Amino acid sequence: MADKFLSLEKVKEVWHTQVHDEQNWALNKKLLRAFGLFVGSIIVFRNFGDQMARIFHQATMMPMISSRLSPVI
Amino acid sequence: MAAAYGQVPTTQMDTKAEEKSKKIDYFDLPCPIPYEEIQREAFMSLKPELFEGLRFDFTKGLNQKFALSHSVAMGPTELPSQSSETIKIPTAHYEFGANFIDPKLMLVGRVMTDGRLNARLKCDLTDKLTLKGNAQLTSEPHMSHGMATFDYKGSDYRAQFQMGNGALFGANYIQSVTPHLSLGGEVFWTGQHHKSGVGIATRYNTDKMVATAQVASTGMVALSFVQKVSEKVSLATDFIYNYLSKEVTSSVGYDYILRQCRLRGKIDSNGCTSAFLEERLNMGLNFILSAEIDHRKKDYKFGFGLTVGE
């Protein structure tokens, strides 16, 4: 039987080297966390960006830095 | 009555006009952003000039083109260390500067108390060709650097050629492919260190968002995305991975411009949060606050300062 490009053994081998190996898994975990943060942020920005800006605007319209600092100096 | 006499109804004419406007004229594409500024929106939002300690900047314009500046900075400076601990030494320095700004020529010079000199030049040789130069000169041997850059701006492309001391040569090119998409590439070679590298970059921008991707043979992969929610609010995120040094960082941040202040903040995947506030107290008087907290390294940096003048 001819060797396939993608066989179950090769998938298992990749899984063992990337997940079960401590050093590789430490890097892969950091990579997944960072990439997940990046992609998740894009999804949140595109879907809820307007609402986030509105909430932030309302929060900063309360008495904050700009009204507190100016009379002091 | 007009329709009965064979005239095309108004709605069909509007549709045809819309179709014509939607067809892209590939010979009339806009000029792209310079290659080195491909991530400028993300850079402006996610990388403010954070500092620690005190900072005071005073700029006095002598006339419309010439200005002098005085800067004082007092605070700890981080030293590179091989261990995970952060080593800081207290420093204080004064910097004197002179700026000459003309529509076609810009000269900026800064000299510090330790004898270091920074100089920058930007000259529009023609409408399309610009010469830029920068130099850092010090009294320490082999620590001075200089670089000259020629920028050519075409109708829908930009080309740049750089040369610096230490036999450093570089070139980049960026081309608009569609009204929203531009692709570019760069190559550099350092004779002194016998190193070379290539890189490619792409940028897609609309009125509401900017997305960029950059890959280089130095091992860097950089992705960024900026959502322009409004004229005053931008939300940005970036992902930087070096597959040679195995370092990865992702940041999420915001840039909020209020009437009297500008607030930028971010958090990244390494547990570091930062914020930068610029408050306009009066005409020409700005108060700045900077904060950076690295929870992982337990390194806390806070700074405050004033800038007077433009």
Distance CA B174, CA B200 (A): 9
Check CB contact under 8 Å for B279 and A38.
no
Say whether residue A66 is in contact with chain B using an 8 A CB cutoff. yes
Say whether residue A42 is in contact with chain B using an 8 A CB cutoff. yes
Find the range with the poorest average confidence among A48-52, B94-98, B284-288: A48-52
CA dihedral angle for residue B103, residue B72, residue B148, residue B214, rounded to 10 degrees: -100
Distance CA B72, CA B168 (A): 33
pLDDT at B15: 57
Check CB contact under 8 Å for B235 and A70.
no
3-class SS at B13? helix
Q: Quote the pTM value.
A: 0.84
3-class SS at B99? strand
Check CB contact under 8 Å for A41 and B281.
no
pLDDT at A59: 72
> CB pairs under 8 A, 24+ apart, for B64-67?
B65/B100, B65/B101, B65/B102, B66/B98, B66/B99, B66/B100, B67/B98, B67/B99, B67/B101, B67/B309, B67/B310
For residue range B264-280, list pLDDT tens digits in order: 999 999 999 999 999 99
Candidate from A34, A49, A73 with C-beta closest to B249: A34
Contact B309, B61 (CB under 8 A): yes
Closest CA to B68 of B23, B27, B101, B34: B101
Give me the residue label for tokens 């002598």: B62
pLDDT at A8: 84
3-state SS record for A1-61 = CCCCCCCHHHHHHHHHHHHHCHHHHHHHHHHHHHHHHHHHHHHHHHHHHHHHHHHHHHHHH
3-class SS at B269? coil
Give me the residues of chain A with pLDDT under 50, please: 1, 72-73
Handedness of CA A28, A34, A37, A38 (dihedral sign): negative
- Helix, strand, coil share (%) of chain B residues, nearest 5: 10, 60, 30
B4: pLDDT confidence band, cut at 50, 70 and 90? very low
B157: pLDDT confidence band, cut at 50, 70 and 90? very high
3-class SS at B126? coil
Distance CA A15, CA B178 (A): 41
pLDDT at B178: 93
For residue range B98-131, list pLDDT tens digits in order: 999 999 999 999 999 988 999 999 999 999 999 9
Say whether residue A20 is in contact with chain B using an 8 A CB cutoff. no
Give me the residue label for tokens 């894009």: A42
B227: pLDDT confidence band, cut at 50, 70 and 90? very high
At residue B259, does pLDDT exceed 60? yes
